[in-house]
Structure 1
Amino acid sequence: MDKQALQALLRESRALIDPGAYGLFRSLRQGRRAPGLTQAQMDQLLHRAQGTYNRLETGNYPNPSEDLLRDVARLLAFTEHEWTLLWRYTLRRDPPTPLDPGSGQEVVEAWREVVHGISHMAYVADQSWRVLDYNQPFADLFPGGKVPENSMRWMANHADARRILARWEECWLPLILPQLRSALAAMPDDPTLAEIKEVVLADPVTGPMFRAGGVSPGAQAYRYERPLLHPLKGPGWVHMCPAQPLDTPGIRLMIIVFHPGEDRPGDSRLRALSPQ
């Protein structure tokens, strides 16, 4: 437990909450009102025994329950990033689920500018691979510039994907389908993922591979760079660069770096970055 960081996070967040919003007040001995909720008021609003919140904020509450952490985070209006920090400071691990169940379904408008400011192919998708926004280089990847509504369904099932994603069955499917299985395990009630699964299972190629599970050993060689037949630029290789906004777990920013040519780029592109 990182007591110092935990105390700073909770104390500073607590100071931002107006007690008046809950019909409460906080005053100093001199009669002046101090900002934020008191620790006793936190207990009151959390419906916890007196001293519970104090133990948490001071780092004297070993192994706090998920319910307590979630109630505190919601009362203090935490972002998803702050929710993650709360877990790391108290239990030294990431939270099992997002604070907001809908956090993987939408992202703030500023990410539109990010996507359109990238020169490589780029798009943003939600936790079910529904495409939320994309730039023109990504649109150029599809015939007529028509971007699919769901990138996972397109990669796993669409006829165009089997042509554009070169050596689709060998280099792409064994890496795509495990991602779908993993998402279904984490979100078994997601209707979009369930629909994609049914489509995949019904296909004579993807169905058996999906049921078998796992990644074929040969496909691991293509986890970083995969062959692609670009409709406008011709054959080449792409490096998939996924990222995730800190405040929106489940949202994916996918940047696809394209290198033209039949020959696979050298391994020098895969070297780790080091400080300049």
Structure 2
Amino acid sequence: MNKTALRALLRERRALIAPESHGFSRPTGQGRRARGLSQHQVDQLLHRAIGTYHRLESGSYPNPPTTLLRDVARLFGLNEQEWVSLNRFALLQDPPGPLHQSSGKEVPGVWQEAVDGISHMAYVTDASWDMLAYNEPLAAMFPDGNVPANTMRWMVLDTHGRESLMDWHTAWAPMVLPQLRAALASRPDDEVLRQIEKEVLADPETADLYNVGVSYPHPDGDERPLLHPQLGPGWASMCTAQPLTAPGARLMILVFRPGQRRSHARAPMLRVR
């Protein structure tokens, strides 16, 4: 626990909330009055035992439950980056999921301009794999430039997707499906993800692979076989990043090299020398 950082974050945000906005009257009379809600008022609003919030803010609450942190974060109006910071300060770990289910569904509009400036195939999807932005090199992958509305559904369920993703049964599906399972673990109420899972379980091919339940890390740095409609078969190296204001959203850059066999050496890791 980082007590100093935790105390500073919570005090600052608590001070911004006027007691009157929650039906409390501000004390009158002489003496110095702190700004914002009192710690006792926070306990009342969160329906917690008196002293619970004081323990959290003072850093004397070891391993506070995530439910308490989430309730405090929502009461204080924290954004997603502050939510991550709260968990790191209080628990020394990232949160188990976003603060709000609506998070990760949008990115700043300048991302389209940024994607257009990338020479490789590139796109941005939201936390449900719905397409938000893509460039012309990516559009060239699809007939008449009809980019799929949801890349997860295309990768695991679309016939064209299974043809383009070479060695689909071994090089793609076993790596992609665990990402769907992991996303649902942190976003169990996401209707788009739940519908895709329903379709996956209704398909015998994908159901068997999905039910294996293996874990697979992020695809960043992976190389997989890909059939390009213009350049033929080759290998796609994946570079993946996440817009910081949209947890679960992802920027994907595909570096494509034509060739039936992987004839190039994998680039070494980049590190400071």
Which of the five TM-score ranges fits, normalised by the shorter chain? 0.7 to 0.9
Query: What letter matches 1:135 in structure 2?
Result: N
| Cα distance between partner residues in 1 of 2:56 and 2:228 | 55
CA contact (8 A) 1:125 1:253 kept: yes
- Residue 12 of structure 2: aligned partner: 12
**Once the 2 structures are TM-superposed, how far is the Cα of residue 19 of structure 1 from its aligned partner?**
4.3
Paired position in structure 2 for 1:86: 86
Decide whether the 8 Å contact of 1:122 with 1:255 is kept in 2: yes
Which runs of structure 2 are paired with 1:260-275 in the superposition (5 Å)?
260-264=258-262, 266-269=264-267, 271-275=268-272
Decide whether aligned partners of structure 1 residues 120 and 18 sit closer, same or farther in structure 2, where only a CA change above 3 A counts: farther
Q: Deviations over 1:127-181 (max 9, x none)?
A: 3322222222221211111011111111112222233222323322222233234
The aligned residue for residue 99 of structure 2 is: 99
TM-score by length of 2: 0.81
In structure 2, what is the equivalent of residue 219 of structure 1? none
Amino acid at match of 2:252: M
Q: Which segment drifts farther, 239-248 or 82-91?
A: 239-248
Q: Answer yes or no: is the 8 Å Cα contact 2:139–2:147 preserved in 1.
A: yes
Q: Pick closer, same or farther for the CA change 1:160–1:12 going to 2, 3 Å.
A: same
Alpha-carbon separation, structure 1, partners of 2:204 and 2:197? 13
Task: Describe the SS at the equivalent of 1:178.
Answer: helix
Q: Which residue of 2 aligns with 1:164?
A: 164
Distance of 1:53 and 1:47 partners within structure 2: 11
Q: Distance in 2 between matches of 1:275 and 1:62?
A: 36
SS at match of 1:226: strand
Match of 1:226 among 216, 224, 241: 224
Alignment partner, residue 239 of structure 2: 241
- State the match for 1:140 in structure 2: 140
Pairwise CA distance, 1:227: 1.5
Residues 1:201 and 1:6: Cα distance change in structure 2 (over 3 Å) = closer
Q: Greater shift after overlay, 70-79 or 194-203?
A: 194-203
Question: In angstroms, what is the RMSD of aligned CA positions?
Answer: 3.2
- Cα deviations across residues 33-55 of structure 1 (Å, max 9, x unaligned)? 86544444434544445443332
Which ranges in structure 2 are unaligned for 5 or more consecutive residues? Answer: none
Whether the aligned pair in 1 keeps the contact of 2:43 and 2:49 (CA below 8 Å) is yes
Pairwise CA distance, 1:237: 1.2
Measure how far apart 1:207 and its partner are: 4.2
The question of 1:253 aligning with 2:251 is answered yes
Alignment of 1:151-190 (within 5 A): 151-187=151-187, 190=190
| Structure 1, 128-137 or 11-20: larger mean CA deviation | 11-20
Task: After superposition, give the CA deviation of every residue in 1:2-28 in whole Å (9 maximum; x if it has no partner).
Answer: 111111211222333344544654899
Instruction: Give the C-alpha shift of residue 252 in structure 1.
Output: 2.2
Distance 2:10 2:189 in 1: 33
Superimposed CA distance per residue, residues 167-196 of structure 1 (whole angstroms, 9 cap, x where no aligned partner): 323322222233234344555554433443
Task: State which drifts further: 173-182 or 108-117.
Answer: 108-117
Once residues 215 and 58 of structure 1 are traced to their aligned partners in structure 2, the CA distance between those partners, rounded to angstroms, is: 38
Matched residue, 2:115:
115
Structure 2: distance between partners of 1:176 and 1:34: 52
Asked if the contact 1:155–1:161 (Cα under 8 Å) also holds between the matched residues in 2, the reply is yes
Distance in 1 separating the partners of 2:56 and 2:28: 23
Q: What percentage of residue pairs aligned between the two structures are identical?
A: 54
Q: Deviations over 1:64-111 (max 9, x none)?
A: 233321221112211112112111211222222321122133334343
Aligned residue for 1:236, secondary structure, equals strand
Provide the secondary structure at the position in 2 that maps to 1:192: helix
Counterpart CA distance in 2 for 1:226 and 1:26 is: 65
Q: Counterpart of 1:102 in 2: which secondary structure? A: coil
